[in-house]
A and B are shown apart, each in its own frame.
Chain A
Amino acid sequence: DTEVTQTPKHLVMGMTNKKSLKCEQHMGHRAMYWYKQKAKKPPELMFVYSYEKLSINESVPSRFSPECPNSSLLNLHLHALQPEDSALYLCASSQAQGGDYGYTFGSGTRLTVV
């Protein structure tokens, strides 16, 4: 299995809802990443997990809460989002953080906040 799987592919949520995005990989990678991509913009790094511990938090608002329950799974919990949070959320993994390993990206979750 050489893929990063993201679910759901599409999500519409209200500003008072709580939802979660899921990212899964079975490549034995020990670093996992969340990126946010607005339309016509490049992906922007949100969080990095290395060996299931939060390594980087790019000053993301607390309404986004990441969780890494095990080495294969990365979640992004969403609560009280704003319409400007509507974007494509991309998950990626790499064998480890840093080093010449390369990155594998999922196909993303397109989130719409209404």
Chain B
Amino acid sequence: AQSVTQPDIHITVSEGASLELRCNYSYGATPYLFWYVQSPGQGLQLLLKYFSGDTLVQGIKGFEAEFKRSQSSFNLRKPSVHWSDAAEYFCAVDNQAGTALIFGKGTTLSVSS
């Protein structure tokens, strides 16, 4: 069965510093990959998604992610973090087999001033 791993439970970044959140997936073929953000008490907001084509994907709020098939990774990046980026970030995979979206355990991002 497919799975997605987010190795970092909690990351703290200084405001203005760059950010990279890691995501690894386990699946035989190329899955559909997603990054979501969730603020406390809120629903899920889609940051970006990868289905096929260009492996560097641009999303909202200045985020981007790069799909690397050789490393089974889909890491999320942002060049300069803002305090409002503090939230929970979930990587998710859809295995194209008609199941549904499966989430990683999430990474909590804290932003220090």
Q: Which residues of A contact B (CB under 8 A)?
A: 33, 41-45, 48, 50, 55-56, 90, 92, 97-100, 102-103, 105-108, 110
Contact = CB atoms under 8 A, between A and B. Distances in A.
Interface residues of B, number: 25
Interface in B81-113: 90, 94, 96-106
- Looking at A41, A43, A48, the one whose CB has the most chain B CB atoms below 10 A away is A43
B18 interface: no
24 contacts: A41-B106, A42-B104, A43-B44, A43-B103, A44-B103, A45-B100, A48-B100, A50-B98, A56-B99, A92-B101, A97-B98, A97-B99, A98-B97, A98-B99, A99-B96, A100-B52, A102-B34, A103-B46, A105-B36, A106-B43, A107-B42, A107-B43, A108-B42, A110-B41
Interface of B: 32, 34, 36, 41-46, 49, 51-52, 90, 94, 96-106
- By secondary structure, the B interface counts as loop
A45 B102 contact: yes
A32 to B, nearest CB: 10
The 9 tightest CB contacts between A and B, nearest first, are A98-B98, A42-B103, A107-B43, A100-B51, A105-B44, A108-B43, A97-B98, A45-B100, A48-B100
Nearest to A100: B51
